Structure 1
Amino acid sequence: MKKMLYPFIFLCSICSVSAQAIKPLDTIYANEHKAVALFFPSTIKHGITGSTNFVFSFNRVKQQRFGLLQAYPGAESNLLVLGSDGQVFSYILRYGKKLSQLNYFIPKEESIGNETGQTSLRFQENKTFTALDSKAENSEAIALEKLCRQLLKTPRPFNQIKQNKGVVLKMTNSMYHGDQVFVVFEIQNKSQIDYEINALDLYRVNGTKKRKSSYQEVPLKSVYQFKRPSQVSSGSKVQFVQVYPKFTLGKNERLKITLGELNGGRNLNLKLR
């Protein structure tokens, strides 16, 4: 009896150690009304969600350390993020009507492994996502380019216009396609000086500046840019497309677009519903 008992105890001890090594994934809640910001210890190389009702956006052109998460009602999913240093992070995603946390500062210790070698058991369960990620990203980029080209070929009215010192910013109504929003912009330079673009940012605004306690500006980061210029020459105009994760505006929310000049003061703010 004792001879049978010792192997049983040994197996139990192994199972106990393995169970402690596999730490359960943390859960992040999001919804369509607010953008949840995730700050990682290194810049983001890849990020993917398991379901289309969750959208994780990050700068694919210039790598940054943060991404924005939004969600729409539906079943829970997961998020897998690969950092530029090879660290891998994985989380469970759930939709929540009310959010108790909007910003997550993620320490390096929460990494589930490293793609270069040291891989944990939790990463093994999700490695199929990284294998498909680059192929899916390429096909997505091709599809986005085709849609953007078609938008520029098909004229749409620019119904949002702002002008400052000879620089005119125009914007079309948003066009929804799948889980993304396409916006066509036009910048016209009527001045005698070339206009160098520093930034063109889109924000979701809630409240008014008169009531600072309730005023909030949430940046909406573009996931794709098509033919966006760095400069608009004097006497010329350019049209380009920016693609954003799908969003909807609440009852008291509106959009704000800011266009900033590099080394100049010809800045424009366009507010709209």
Structure 2
Amino acid sequence: MKPILFTLIMLISALAEAQTTEILDTIYANDSKNVALFFPEPIRQGITGSENFVFTYNREKEQYFGLLQAQPGKESNLLVINRNGSIFSYIVRYKALLSKLNYFIPLSNSIGNENPKVADSIQTKTSEKGINNSMYYYQRFCSYLLDKRQYLGRYIRRNDGVILRLENIVFDKEELYFVIQIRNNSSLDYDLNFLNLSVETRQKGKKKSLQRLYQEPIFKHHMPSKIAENEMVRFIYVMPKFSLSNNHRILLDLNEKDGERNIEMKISHKYINNPN
């Protein structure tokens, strides 16, 4: 019985919410004062459902506001269309004493658009679904990589008890997965400021110079903000697939927040071009 009861409760809540969203806001006006309505876009058209309500706006030069006046009588409705096609609908009523003379109407009050972009909506939803699927796949594959241990061997750097290790570089589909380990063997917690991955270009010749180009990960898995004393953490940077020529290399730049235990690790182009 519990699943049926839960379903009934959810159905009742949904119906109540639907009825609530259909209730239109009410705007009060009278014949002695102008009630000003300010919209997020210039007004292209404004219509009242009864002659005892008058909504005036600039028909020659579109402006953001209109003025509403009312004569005693039955309630009616006001329909306003903005320049961008947004539609606003309100109940209007006569009231001798007004407590509000200015209404600033947000775009969220729009009940729709006269030219709904159905195709764009479908495309947006499809894109969002694709992004969510990609993030889910990254998360699952990262979890798989963290369950297995495979060390590249040589890529370890230390500074005052803090050890940075590049465990693995794995290629899958169109991405490179950098499996990274940080171990804090010191007696102080390590607050991580950033860990940047950059492509470094080595210029040869008499005037040697280095140029670094930061690469933004498309996904970070289990990225820590703090490594406690005597603690080890493992996490993954997911990068778009790329390759490097022999005058390029990768630079991992580990930076401590409010500290000086910084570490730089340089990775040869060979490991990028020949991942696991």
Task: Calculate the TM-score normalised by the size of structure 2.
Answer: 0.51
- CA-CA distance at 1:208 after TM superposition: 4.6
For 2:147, the aligned partner's letter is K
Change (3 A) 1:179 1:195: same
Pick aligned residue for 1:250 from 245, 250, 269: 245
Give per-residue Cα distances to partners, 1:57-77, cap 9 Å, x unaligned: xxxxxxxxxxxxxxxxxxxxx
Match of residue 218 from structure 2: 223
Give per-residue Cα distances to partners, 1:153-210, cap 9 Å, x unaligned: 0111142100001100000231111111101100000110000100001111111598
For 1:133, the aligned partner's letter is S
Q: How does 1:1-273 map to 2 (within 5 A)?
A: 129-159=123-153, 160-208=155-203, 215-273=210-268
- CA-CA distance at 1:129 after TM superposition: 3.8
Change (3 A) 1:209 1:156: same
Change (3 A) 1:191 1:203: same
For 1:137, the aligned partner's letter is I
- CA-CA distance at 1:265 after TM superposition: 0.7
The secondary structure found in structure 1 opposite 2:251 is strand
Higher radius of gyration, 1 or 2: 2
The secondary structure found in structure 1 opposite 2:168 is coil
Q: For structure 1, which segment, 214-223 or 188-197, has the greater mean C-alpha deviation from structure 2 after superposition?
A: 214-223
Query: What RMSD over aligned residues (CA atoms) do the two structures have, in Å?
Result: 2.9
Structure ranking higher on relative contact order (CA contacts 8 Å, 6+ apart): 1
Give the share of equivalent positions with the same residue, in percent.
Answer: 28
The secondary structure found in structure 2 opposite 1:149 is helix
Counterpart contact for 2:217–2:237, Cα < 8 Å? yes
Give per-residue Cα distances to partners, 1:28-58, cap 9 Å, x unaligned: xxxxxxxxxxxxxxxxxxxxxxxxxxxxxxx
Counterpart contact for 1:260–1:266, Cα < 8 Å? yes
Counterpart contact for 1:203–1:256, Cα < 8 Å? yes
Counterpart contact for 2:254–2:262, Cα < 8 Å? yes
For 2:235, the aligned partner's letter is F
- In 1, distance between residues paired with 2:207 and 2:195? 24
- In 2, distance between residues paired with 1:236 and 1:210? 44
Counterpart contact for 1:189–1:233, Cα < 8 Å? yes
The secondary structure found in structure 1 opposite 2:264 is strand
- In 1, distance between residues paired with 2:214 and 2:122? 31
- In 1, distance between residues paired with 2:163 and 2:131? 34
Change (3 A) 1:249 1:124: farther
Change (3 A) 1:227 1:206: same
The secondary structure found in structure 2 opposite 1:162 is strand
- In 2, distance between residues paired with 1:227 and 1:257? 17
- CA-CA distance at 1:228 after TM superposition: 1.1
- CA-CA distance at 1:213 after TM superposition: 7.5
After TM superposition, which residue ranges in structure 1, 4 or more long, deviate above 2 angstroms?
123-131, 208-215
The secondary structure found in structure 2 opposite 1:241 is strand
- CA-CA distance at 1:216 after TM superposition: 1.7
- Structure 1 residues without counterparts, runs of 5 or longer: 1-115
